[in-house]
Chains A and B, each alone.
Chain A
Amino acid sequence: MRALAYSDDGAPAAAGPDSPPAVELDGVSKVYGGTPAVEDVDLAVREGEFFTLVGPSGCGKTTTLRLIAGFESPTAGTIRFGGEVVSGIPPEDRNIGVVFQNYALFPHMTVGENVGYGLRFQDPPGGGSTEDRIAELLDLVDLPDAADRDPNTLSGGQKQRVALARALAPGPEVLLLDEPMSALDARLRERLRVQVKAIQRELEITTIYVTHDQEEALAISDRVAVMRAGTAEQIAPPREIYRRPSSRFVASFIGDNNVLEGRVRAIEKGKRKAGTACVAVIDVDDAAFRLETTETITAGDRATICVRPEALRIDGGTSRLTGTVESVEFLGETTRVQLGWNDREIILRTPDPLSGAVTVGFDPEDAHLVAVER
């Protein structure tokens, strides 16, 4: 890999739990004319981390990004960059790079002028000339000969890569990406996603990424914050978000999921203390499901559990239910089957289409306890 002069002091810090937070939000709220868009959000993005804000539209993820960029100022709370409070610092002094969904290339400038625009206000990092820096960045985004082109003649994917090069050219401390791929078609999106991730890894730049696409969030991020109605419901690495959602909303928003509610009948194995695993028997309608959990849980609690469709096996597992096939969708590599069971919908994935009555089951370790209520 070629050595890219990214910042003045050489290699940036590697991501890790002990790195100091590059961007920190502390009780941040934003109210627009009485309606809160962001409510009391706490989060800490580590140096070099790829951090994603994901959620449905209107959840406050873009507002959160705009607060970090300084385009909006928070109604309450503080934002820190590398430990320094940035309130009152205008966006141009925050040392950030921003990429928008609609590319926002300056239409009256060439691609090279676009990429070099940020260098009008500061010297190129690494001490080279502006021209060299532009060439270097265009090389990085795989558009080596585009400097003299008119941005209006580029394709959507090319425009987005130029926007990325432009944002990176001044060597920002934090890269902010606001749904950068939403305007692109699915195939291109996947290709660009890999490219963006590779560049982020190479530069080890702290990146905050906003998307509504949960699949994209899981694929690209080091950590994900799932947002809903202005608050961050869960902040965790993608695998944990997927496997151990901390709320009913996260469980159903991230991926296909079967979320069921029942009552704890008994604790079968292990202790009831927090942190140690036990197997609980949970009654859902007329069925008894077993699941493994480390949560403190006692008989009589109301429990919300989830089982991923891919964990349900036909005639397999220890916890079983029998439902009737209601719909079958052929998705290519799998078939998505929806079963009707006691007025509930159960989703499963099978290689082959099914019909009639089907019995499916899962193992205790494949189910997750989302929430408990006494």
Chain B
Amino acid sequence: MNDPPSRRRPRDTGEGQPRARRIRAGAERRALVPLAVATVALLAVVFYYPVATVFVEAVVVEGAITLAVFAEILRDPFYFGEFARLLAGEDPIAVLRDLLGADRRLGIVGFTAYQAALSTVASVMLGVPAAYLLARYEFRGRRTLRSLTILPFVLPSIMVAVGFVATFGREGTLNTALAAIGLGPVELMFTLEAIIIAHAFYNAPLVARVTTAAWESVDASAIETARSLGASPFRAFRDVVAPQLYPAVLMGGALTFVFTFATFPIVLALGGFQLATVEVFVYRLVQDLNYAEAAALAIIELVISLGVLLGYLRYEARHAVRSRGARPLPRRPLFRLPAISVREVLPRVGLGIYGIIAAFVFLSPIVSMILASVIAADGSFTLEHYRFLVDRQRTGAAFQVQPWTAVRNSLVFAAGSLLIALPMGVVVAVLTTRRYRGRKLVDAIAMAPLAVSGIIVGLGLLRGLVFGVEIAGWRIVIAGSVAIVAAHAVSGYPFVVRTVAPGLEGLDRSLIESARALGASRARVLLDIELPLVWPGVVAGAAFAFAISIGEFSSTVVLATGTDAYTMPVAIERFIGRRLGPATAMGVVLLIVTSISFVVIDRLGGESFGL
């Protein structure tokens, strides 16, 4: 009989193991921990610390804790309009009467909410028919069109703004086209309409995306059951389909409201300061070095945004219907009608009218921007605007924006933030897909950068690390460009998480367990099994991080103030009023870079992207 212990071959400490292998195994075993610690530390330094700085800035005035700054803002009609009077203790009925009056004042916060509400309505009106088209009809290019709904996530908003300036401007394509058919010029620049159309461009695809997904998960047999029980097609839609669409439409609407409430580049470019939203005004206060008021206002904005988001999440928790349709509804051919009848023709006519409106909203800014970038002042074809980008502009004064510097900065920052965001995102994805107590908290902490505006992060970084922090006698100062890379990494990595985590979540657990039973450590399983299998998601996440950095505007414009660390979006904003040509040329460069990123994302990870 053999001695049983001699059959045991402990895998890590056995004498038969070569030393090198033992050391490597030990290193691998511990590899995840320092990576996780580094991620947490980076997040703390470049996100939580700056945001906390902003918060402290708002409540500490001359060394004493006070809520005076908040109280002042809340009671100031400039910010809260008639509501401020309510907060100042005036009679609610008088306030209400004034609110219903013609010359009511909304204040900046009120106006921000108002334009966000209108933008939400416009986005839903433009998005839901698209969902109907995508979910219920079959036509060439349907998949491509569906993929394109992810594009707004990567399109720089300043580029969209340039597109709309090129469309709505005095010499924009819209007025040129109207003049050609003998109609007078329309003045849409610096109007609420322009802002709302631009917001709809941005957010309607989001509404369409989530609604399409919900529509596609409606089980056809549920409708057939309703019909067999006597419901008319309309009743079946109302009783079976619609209740499954509401939550999705509401989700799209809630997110649109939150996004447009915090809108910045679009309003800055299309509205100017006369139609300023909260975010624009925070930026203006930062430029005026009025940091305490800027911080307090930014926090009020954050609280309102988070309030809406939280309200939505509570609704979602109560109405979560996540049934994957066993058999989705069949799609009807769009162009080949099965019969000429009112029921077949009418929806298609409606979709045709919708198509024209949608084409105007979605295509005109892109087309106008491309046209404006190659057309000279006299109307002839030119590449001068592009030549301008690579010229080092020796003529310009030192304080002027140098186009080539902007292009170079954008690419360097994007590469840098990609190198940080990718490992961060992967580590967070790994941490949030494990099962353990407190996972939800980790998820929330890691995803918070999605909800906090870039202005706040930029402001916090600027006031903290860029201006310098004193720790134990050491003065820590980081350069503006380093802060920009860090801010970009923080705003980009949640997208890496969102593309990698679903893949990890979907991996068969027995693959991981098999590898572990064969002797692989946890970190080794990640390298050998998990990452190779979710590689497309990792590449898609990288493309996201790159595109987000290239297009990031809010924190960059704060951090680049007064330095030469400006990027293409910042340069565009500075060019936009005076030199539309170079702005559109840069917009086209951004469009190309982000389109390439989009193609990469779409080919590799678009399906699994969790939004």
- Of all chain B residues, the one with the shortest Cβ separation from A91 is B516
CA distance A108 to B515 in the complex (A): 13
CA distance A22 to B532 in the complex (A): 36
CA distance A112 to B514 in the complex (A): 15
B138 contacts partner chain A, Cβ-Cβ < 8 Å = no
Query: Would B508 and A91 count as touching, CB distance under 8 A?
Result: no
Residues of chain A within 8 A (CB-CB) of B532 are 108
Residues of chain A within 8 A (CB-CB) of B21 are 121
Query: Would A121 and B5 count as touching, CB distance under 8 A?
Result: no
CA distance A169 to B517 in the complex (A): 12
- Of all chain B residues, the one with the shortest Cβ separation from A118 is B518
Query: Would B11 and A121 count as touching, CB distance under 8 A?
Result: yes
Query: Would B5 and A82 count as touching, CB distance under 8 A?
Result: yes
Contact of B9 among A69, A104, A171 (CB under 8 A): A171
Query: Would A92 and B521 count as touching, CB distance under 8 A?
Result: yes
CB proximity of B411 to chain A, nearest CB, Å: 32
Contact of B519 among A7, A8, A71, A122 (CB under 8 A): A122
- Mask, A8-31, CB within 8 Å of B = 1, is 111111000001101000000000
A170 contacts partner chain B, Cβ-Cβ < 8 Å = yes
B25 contacts partner chain A, Cβ-Cβ < 8 Å = yes
Instruction: Knowing A93-B10, A107-B533, A121-B520, say if A9 contacts B515 (CB, 8 Å).
Output: no
Residues of chain A within 8 A (CB-CB) of B143 are none
A327 contacts partner chain B, Cβ-Cβ < 8 Å = no
- Of all chain A residues, the one with the shortest Cβ separation from B18 is A123
CA distance A9 to B7 in the complex (A): 7
CB proximity of A23 to chain B, nearest CB, Å: 11
A47 contacts partner chain B, Cβ-Cβ < 8 Å = yes
Query: Would A122 and B511 count as touching, CB distance under 8 A?
Result: no
For the complex, would chain A's binding face be called helix, strand, loop or mixed by DSSP majority? loop
Contact of A98 among B14, B513, B520, B528 (CB under 8 A): B513
Instruction: Knowing A8-B9, A107-B533, A122-B9, say if A97 contacts B4 (CB, 8 Å).
Output: no
CA distance A8 to B522 in the complex (A): 27
Residues of chain A within 8 A (CB-CB) of B516 are 71, 90-92
Query: Would A9 and B518 count as touching, CB distance under 8 A?
Result: no
Residues of chain B within 8 A (CB-CB) of A120 are 519-520, 528
- Mask, B1-37, CB within 8 Å of A = 1, is 1101111111110101100010001000000000000
Contact of A117 among B7, B510, B515, B521 (CB under 8 A): B515
- Of all chain A residues, the one with the shortest Cβ separation from B522 is A90
CA distance A174 to B516 in the complex (A): 14
Residues of chain A within 8 A (CB-CB) of B1 are 13, 19
CA distance A7 to B10 in the complex (A): 13
Instruction: Knowing A93-B11, A122-B9, say if A69 contacts B518 (CB, 8 Å).
Output: no
Query: Would B12 and A9 count as touching, CB distance under 8 A?
Result: no
Residues of chain B within 8 A (CB-CB) of A203 are none
B529 contacts partner chain A, Cβ-Cβ < 8 Å = yes
Which residues 110-153 of B have a CB within 8 angstroms of A? Answer: none
CB proximity of A172 to chain B, nearest CB, Å: 8
Contact of A104 among B514, B520, B521, B524 (CB under 8 A): B514
Query: Would A95 and B10 count as touching, CB distance under 8 A?
Result: yes
- Of all chain A residues, the one with the shortest Cβ separation from B5 is A82
- Of all chain A residues, the one with the shortest Cβ separation from B2 is A13
Query: Would A117 and B528 count as touching, CB distance under 8 A?
Result: yes
CA distance A93 to B520 in the complex (A): 9
Query: Would A81 and B533 count as touching, CB distance under 8 A?
Result: no
Residues of chain A within 8 A (CB-CB) of B10 are 93, 95
Query: Would B12 and A173 count as touching, CB distance under 8 A?
Result: no
Which residues 74-120 of A have a CB within 8 angstroms of B? Answer: 81-84, 90-98, 100-102, 104, 106-108, 117-118, 120
Query: Would A104 and B508 count as touching, CB distance under 8 A?
Result: yes
A167 contacts partner chain B, Cβ-Cβ < 8 Å = yes
Best-surrounded residue of B516, B524, B533 (most CB of chain A within 10 A): B516
For the complex, would chain B's binding face be called helix, strand, loop or mixed by DSSP majority? helix
Query: Would B508 and A102 count as touching, CB distance under 8 A?
Result: yes
Which residues 434-490 of B have a CB within 8 angstroms of A? Answer: none
Residues of chain B within 8 A (CB-CB) of A98 are 513-514, 517
Query: Would B513 and A91 count as touching, CB distance under 8 A?
Result: yes
Query: Would B513 and A100 count as touching, CB distance under 8 A?
Result: yes
CA distance A81 to B516 in the complex (A): 17
Residues of chain A within 8 A (CB-CB) of B529 are 106
Instruction: Knowing A19-B1, A100-B510, A104-B508, say if A173 contacts B517 (CB, 8 Å).
Output: no
- Of all chain A residues, the one with the shortest Cβ separation from B11 is A93
CB proximity of A15 to chain B, nearest CB, Å: 11
Residues of chain B within 8 A (CB-CB) of A7 are 7
CB proximity of B5 to chain A, nearest CB, Å: 6
Best-surrounded residue of B11, B17, B508, B520 (most CB of chain A within 10 A): B11
Q: How many residues of B contact A (CB 8 A)?
A: 34
Query: Would A104 and B519 count as touching, CB distance under 8 A?
Result: no
Query: Would A83 and B4 count as touching, CB distance under 8 A?
Result: yes
Which residues 116-149 of A have a CB within 8 angstroms of B? Answer: 117-118, 120-123, 125
Best-surrounded residue of B5, B518, B532 (most CB of chain A within 10 A): B518
Residues of chain B within 8 A (CB-CB) of A308 are none
Query: Would A95 and B513 count as touching, CB distance under 8 A?
Result: no
Query: Would B5 and A123 count as touching, CB distance under 8 A?
Result: no
Residues of chain A within 8 A (CB-CB) of B528 are 106, 117, 120
A166 contacts partner chain B, Cβ-Cβ < 8 Å = yes
Which residues 17-63 of B have a CB within 8 angstroms of A? Answer: 17, 21, 25
- Mask, A194-207, CB within 8 Å of B = 1, is 00000000000000
Residues of chain A within 8 A (CB-CB) of B521 are 90, 92
CA distance A12 to B522 in the complex (A): 30
Residues of chain A within 8 A (CB-CB) of B16 are 123
Residues of chain B within 8 A (CB-CB) of A125 are 9
Residues of chain B within 8 A (CB-CB) of A47 are 4
CA distance A96 to B10 in the complex (A): 11
- Of all chain A residues, the one with the shortest Cβ separation from B535 is A108
CA distance A83 to B4 in the complex (A): 9
CA distance A296 to B510 in the complex (A): 48
Residues of chain B within 8 A (CB-CB) of A69 are 513, 517
Instruction: Knowing A95-B9, A102-B508, A108-B532, say if A82 contacts B517 (CB, 8 Å).
Output: no
CA distance A170 to B17 in the complex (A): 14
CA distance A83 to B3 in the complex (A): 11
CB proximity of A169 to chain B, nearest CB, Å: 8
- Mask, A144-182, CB within 8 Å of B = 1, is 000000000000000000010011011111001000000
CA distance A103 to B109 in the complex (A): 59
- Of all chain A residues, the one with the shortest Cβ separation from B512 is A104
- Of all chain A residues, the one with the shortest Cβ separation from B9 is A95
CA distance A108 to B14 in the complex (A): 30
CA distance A135 to B519 in the complex (A): 20
CA distance A120 to B581 in the complex (A): 60
CB proximity of A374 to chain B, nearest CB, Å: 44
CB proximity of A70 to chain B, nearest CB, Å: 8
Instruction: Knowing A83-B5, A122-B9, say if A92 contacts B510 (CB, 8 Å).
Output: no
Residues of chain B within 8 A (CB-CB) of A10 are 2
Which residues 495-517 of B have a CB within 8 angstroms of A? Answer: 508, 510-511, 513-517
Which residues 52-69 of A have a CB within 8 angstroms of B? Answer: 69
Instruction: Knowing A100-B513, A121-B518, say if A12 contacts B7 (CB, 8 Å).
Output: yes
Contact of B8 among A81, A122, A170 (CB under 8 A): A81
Query: Would B519 and A118 count as touching, CB distance under 8 A?
Result: yes
Instruction: Knowing A12-B2, A173-B7, say if A104 contacts B518 (CB, 8 Å).
Output: no
Beyond A19-B1, A171-B9, 19 additional contacts (C-beta under 8 Å) are A9-B6, A22-B4, A69-B517, A71-B513, A71-B516, A81-B8, A83-B4, A84-B5, A91-B516, A92-B520, A96-B517, A97-B518, A100-B510, A104-B514, A107-B533, A108-B533, A117-B515, A167-B517, A167-B518
Q: List 6 A-B contacts (CB under 8 A).
A: A19-B1, A106-B515, A117-B515, A120-B519, A120-B520, A167-B514
| Chain B residues at the A interface, C-beta cutoff of 8 Å | 1-2, 4-12, 14, 16-17, 21, 25, 508, 510-511, 513-522, 524, 528-529, 532-533
